[in-house]
Structure formats: C-alpha cells, structure tokens
Amino acid sequence: MSKSVLELTPVQAVACCSPLAKEPLSAEGAERIAPLLKALADPVRLRLLSLVASHADGEACVCDLNDAFDLSQPTISHHLKVLHEVGLLDRSKRGVWVYYRIRGEALADVGALLGGVAR
C-alpha cells in the first residue's frame, strides 16, 4: 500500500491554520504559508490584486491592467501568474486574453490567519 502525501497550496494551508494570535504556527505550516505572504509582499502584486478586486465585476483582463504600470505586458502576466499559483486569483481564458478574478475566500482566510477578519 503506497502512502500518498497531501500537498496543500499556500491558500489551502492558510485556511486550515488557526489565527496566529491563538496558537503558535508550526514550522511546516510556516513553510507552506510563506509563499502566499511573499507573493503579497511584492508592491506590484499587491497593486495588481487591488486593481483586479476593484475592477468592474471584480474581474480584469491583462489588457485592462497594463496602463497602471510602467512594466511590459509579459512582466504583468508573470506577476498575475504568481498570484494565481498561490491561490489568490482565479483565471479564465477568453480568446487570446486571460481574465483574472479575486478569490474572496482566500483573502478572508489570510485575514483570519492574521486575526483581523471574522468569518
């Protein structure tokens, strides 16, 4: 019988953790959550998250976000990919464009981890 290891995304790891002020975070938990907080710590990614969240219908295309930055479209796409990979954004492709949407539950989980958001 083989043992399978459950791999959690950073957002899933945050969702299963108690608030930091309630009990100490395990070393394993900190390792799993750090990529999420690292993604949020980048000023460009933090702004992108805010721009997507505040965009009409809570959804934005890369083409809608380029003008807010003095960065190339591939660089913006890279930052959006990082946010998607840690679980903060969902994405869907429509024709040649990719549209991004905030995962509200992921942000609520981050807030709960830090102890500032009640669910």
pLDDT tens for each residue of 65-76 = 988 999 998 999
Domain count for the chain, please give it.
Answer: 1
Q: Is residue 15 part of a domain?
A: no
Instruction: Indicate which CATH number applies to the domain containing 50.
Output: 1.10.10.10
Q: Is residue 53 part of a domain?
A: yes
Q: Is residue 88 part of a domain?
A: yes
Q: What CA–CA distances, in Å, run from 68 to 25, 48, 53?
A: 37, 9, 14
Give 22: exposed, middle or buried? Use CB within 10 Å, 0-12, 13-18, 19+. exposed
Q: Is residue 6 part of a domain?
A: no
Query: How far is residue 89's CA from residue 67's CA, in Å, rounded to a whole number?
Result: 20
Q: Is residue 85 part of a domain?
A: yes
Mean pLDDT of 37-48: 93
Q: Is residue 97 part of a domain?
A: yes
The answer to whether residues 31 and 68 touch, using CB atoms and an 8 Å cutoff, is no
Tens-digit pLDDT profile for residues 95-107: 988 999 998 887 7
Instruction: Give this prediction's pTM.
Output: 0.74
Q: Is residue 92 part of a domain?
A: yes
